[in-house]
With several copies, the nearest count.
Chain A
Amino acid sequence: MSELEKFRETTKAWLAKNCPPEMRKPMRSEKDACWGGRNWVFQSADQKLWLERMAAKGWTAPSWPQKYGGGGLSRSEAKILQQEMNAIAARNPLHSFGIWMLGPALLEFGNEEQRLRYLPEICRGEIRWCQGYSEPNAGSDLASLATKAEDKGDHYLVNGQKVWTSYADQSDWIFCLVRTDNTGKKHYGISFLLFDMASKGVSTKPILLISGRSPFCETFFEDVKVPKENLVGERDKGWSIAKYLLTHEREMIGDYGAVKPLSEIIADNGYTPNPILRAKIAEFEIDAWAFAQTMSRMLMEAKAGVSLGAKSSMLKYYGTELNKRRYELMMDLAGHDGLEWESERSNDGHLARSWLRTKGNTIEGGTSEIQLNIISKHILQLPGA
């Protein structure tokens, strides 16, 4: 038996023994996702147990080095772990911007002290992180951010406002882009700071969306003191970290594959679309199929070692536009029933709210217009793009 085969056997056995039965059931709602952090209230004893057991093995971040609290697994081992977890439908023990975003950035740009301090508690789910990027006047044009961090000798004094901060009201710490210099070009003078959301001067306010409640917040900083050692990477050169994370994000968002075909939704509900709507659905279905084939092809290319690069913009652009079209058609199919906003029957307007929520798909994570700009510049190499 090869080393990998052995690893698979022991992993399978460990999971069989340690993954609580409840943690093998599909999540019923977003609440079943465990985000951890100081204020986390576990939904069940099993949820707590599962997190603790996985964290003890370092398997909340399987491929991070063990000294930072990770599992120290090779790429192949990590893949086997994921396969075996999938095989028993084990839930993800920990949802975390710390693992998905901050961790990779610290491993790439942080110093050893920072890694040793922050990564283990991320792995154990003790600290919940949020991301402070966008500002009211720096949306698509992120680099024009204005939240100011003044050098006060032993600390920075942070003043300003962030927006679209997911779960800011429930997070413990924030990784945050701030301006430490505004004399040069806008991409210069940006720094990457970490600080405690419990610091004096930090406040948050949830954002109500057109679809209803949302995880997004506005976050305000008023004379927030941040110790100097909380700067990641070089001062004024945080834009490279931001770019690193943005690409990361775009690739995560670009996943629009596995949805139920409209033809099945029609059959399941016994809808009989009129001939005009039917024609639109037929066109949509072909586009959705061709897009799914494109996702597969890009995945194969990526596996074959061809970097996606700016093609991730294509997936983001087309996938999100398609999703909007899809929900318009679902609303057309549902007709009157889809318009109800408050009733048990409609699951509190679930379809209508989802439809409204999709309108944000082509805005968040870089608008469709930004993606088209990126394609113009990096793929088509059009001048001035």
Chain B
Amino acid sequence: MALLLNEDEKMLQESAQGFFAEKAPVSQLRTLRDNNDEIGFSKSLWKEMAEMGFTSVLIPEEYSGVDMGFMAAGLISEEMGRNLTASPFLSSAVLAVEALKAHGNTEQKSKHLPSIGAGKTLFALAIDESNKHNPAEISLTATPSGNGFKLNGYKTMVVDGHVANHIMVIAKTDESMSVFIVPNETKGVEIERTIMADSRNAARISFDDVEVTGEQILGNVGDGDKILDTVLNAGRAILAAEMLGASSQVFEHTNTYLRERKQFGKIIGEFQALQHRASHLYCELELARSAVFSALTALDDGADNAGAIVGMAKAKLGSVAKLAALEAVQLHGGMGMTDELDIGLYLKRIRVAQELLGDSDFHLEQSARHKGY
């Protein structure tokens, strides 16, 4: 098990560090927000990410990708977390790529993978239907109709659903589940952009007698469960990596503040009560890093228990990142409450990332069940 980075990964990490710090720092998110940007991320950044190979980090070489694996994708995600970079990385370069790669037929792969990698096509994954992530309870139905199916139902929290060219929809087909690739402009598809607390975007999408052909099925009818396994594991690990980056960065801000701010004639970092809280948080962040590395490694190794490990990592990161954000606000005092500082932006992004694809409670519950108690 590789809990340390190899040379390739270290190089990638360095280049990602430089890239995002320069091209997509927190100020970019602020600008997008304050300008009420139409899509909520920078298309030119996405293009540059494609040129760097970041968008195709999980795409096989035969489909023009750089195919560096999950540890590499995690490192990119971590840096994006550090800079609060808004981009469709999770939805297109991770969720869609993993689904296509593992379950698409050759035609689907050839059609979509290179295009995603080139930053041309955007995808969104439509799973959730209620206020909490619950992939076991899907009620959007695909009923046979002519040569194809008709989709009826409703999806919420479709990350990047407001800009995606194609929506991957999880639907019930009789007793089984299937995944359909639906172009966003299909008749009967209604997309409502939802702006989230973290200034990023998702969509609520309703499907009203949406007609799809058999060719729009990803893989085969009934592959839905397998596909979900694949994409959820990938997405959760990448979100955990993003939270690692965000919480590490907000912790660094906090520590800097502790070393600079004066009250009562002392640097506040001299107060032992604050020292102990910072040190405890440091330990939690080290555990968080180990959890993320384990999850990414398990995916790269194709470990049998990868799903369980990824779930544990998502659970741990949800709670550690939350703690880091809460401590950051409190230790910054009144300043932490102002929009002027970035602290609140980290708090908001962490809250959203923590909720996406299952919050800590969800994964703790899964983990307990998995272990049989």
Question: In the complex, what's the smallest C-beta–C-beta distance from B277 to chain A, in angstroms?
Answer: 9
Alpha-carbon gap, A372 to B278, bound state (A): 9
User: Shortest Cβ distance from A375 into chain B, in angstroms?
Assistant: 4
Instruction: Evaluate whether A274 and B290 lie within 8 angstroms (CB atoms) in the complex, with A359-B347, A363-B337 already known.
Output: no
**A275-B365, A373-B275, A375-B282 are known contacts. Are A335 and B194 too (CB-CB below 8 A)?**
no
Report the minimal beta-carbon distance from B157 to chain A, rounded to whole angstroms: 4
A360 interface residue, CB < 8 Å from B? yes
Given contacts A341-B196, A341-B199, A349-B197, contact A289 B312 (CB under 8 A): yes
A151 at interface by CB-CB < 8 Å: no
B interface, size bucket: 35 or more
User: In the complex, are the beta carbons of B3 and A382 less than 8 A apart?
Assistant: no
Among residues of A, the one whose C-beta sits closest to the C-beta of B271 is: A369
Does A368 interact with chain B (Cβ within 8 Å)?
A: yes
Whether A261 contacts B371 by the Cβ 8 Å rule is yes
Complex interface residues of chain B between 250 and 286 (CB less than 8 A to chain A): 255, 258-259, 262-267, 269-276, 278-280, 282-283, 286
A186, closest chain B residue (CB): B265
Q: With A282-B365, A342-B195 given, is the CB distance from A384 to B267 under 8 Å?
A: yes
Least CB distance, B297 to chain A, in whole angstroms: 10
Q: What's the dominant secondary structure at chain A's contact region?
A: helix
Question: Do B368 and A317 have beta carbons less than 8 Å apart?
Answer: no
Residues in B whose Cβ lies below 8 Å from that of A373: 272, 275-276, 279
> How many Å lie between the Cα of A213 and that of B264 in the bound state?
30
**Chain B facing A: main interface SS:** helix
Return the chain B residue nearest A317 by Cβ.
B283
B316 and A335 contact, CB distance less than 8 A:
no
Interface residue tally for chain A (C-beta within 8 Å): 83
Determine if B330 is an interface residue (Cβ-Cβ < 8 Å).
Answer: yes
A-B CB contacts (within 8 Å), total count: 238
Question: Do A372 and B3 touch (CB < 8 A)?
Answer: no
Does B348 count as interface, using CB distance less than 8 angstroms?
yes
Per the bound structure, the CA–CA distance linking A336 and B197 in Å amounts to 10
- Among A333-365, those with CB < 8 Å from B are 334-343, 349, 352, 356, 359-360, 362-364
Contacts of A139 in B (CB 8 A): 263, 333-334
Give every chain B residue within 8 A of A252 (Cβ-Cβ): none
Q: Which residue numbers of B lie inside 8 Å of A, CB to CB?
A: 1, 3-4, 128, 130-133, 156-157, 194-199, 255, 258-259, 262-267, 269-276, 278-280, 282-283, 286-291, 293-294, 312-313, 315-316, 319, 322, 326, 329-330, 333-334, 336-340, 343-345, 347-348, 351-352, 355, 359-362, 364-365, 367-368, 371-373
Known: A209-B337, A356-B348, A380-B278. A277 touches B283 (CB 8 A): no
The segment out of A15-23, A176-184, A190-198, A295-303 that lies at the interface is: A295-303
- Within the complex, the shortest CB–CB distance from B341 to chain A, in Å, comes to 9
18 residue pairs from A and B, CB less than 8 Å apart: A144-B264, A164-B334, A208-B338, A263-B372, A286-B315, A286-B364, A294-B290, A332-B361, A335-B131, A335-B359, A339-B355, A356-B347, A359-B336, A367-B330, A368-B330, A375-B283, A380-B278, A383-B270
Docked CA distance A313–B132 (Å): 37
Task: Name A residues whose Cβ lies closer than 8 Å to a Cβ of B.
Answer: 134, 137, 139-141, 144, 163-164, 207-211, 261, 263, 266-267, 271, 273-283, 285-287, 289-291, 293-294, 296-297, 300-301, 304, 311, 314, 317-318, 324, 328, 331-332, 334-343, 349, 352, 356, 359-360, 362-364, 367-369, 371-373, 375-376, 379-385
Q: A209-B337, A318-B287, A341-B196 are in contact. Are A144 and B263 (CB under 8 A)?
A: yes
